[in-house]
């Protein structure tokens, strides 16, 4: 699977570039998004029966 299809770089880019650079959201809001993804990704991983680091933007 190509690296650009993996979900990890997209999540990182969303958290660092979009929330911080483009939206200029407060640290508390950034932390809320991060914490939500920390709950969502294990759930999605279990539901899709894939390791989190092997999840892609297309399942």
Give the residue extent of every domain in the chain. 3-49
**SS3 sequence of 10-53:** HHHHHHHHHHHHHCCCCHHHHHHHHHHHHHHHHHHHHHHCCCHH
Q: pLDDT band at 2, cuts 50/70/90?
A: low
The CB density around residue 30, as the number of other CB atoms within 10 Å, is 15
Contacts of 24 (CB under 8 A, 6+ apart): none
Task: List, for residues 11-59, the tens digit of each pLDDT value.
Answer: 999 999 999 999 999 999 999 999 999 999 999 999 999 999 899 877 5
User: What is the distance between the alpha carbons of residues 10 and 56, in angstroms, rounded to a whole number?
Assistant: 10
């Amino acid at each position: 699977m190509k690296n650009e299809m993996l979900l990890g770089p997209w999540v990182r880019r969303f958290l660092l570039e979009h929330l911080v650079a483009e939206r200029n959201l407060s640290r508390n809001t950034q932390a809320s998004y991060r914490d939500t993804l920390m709950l969502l990704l294990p759930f999605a991983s279990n539901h899709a029966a894939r390791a989190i680091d092997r999840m892609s933007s297309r399942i």
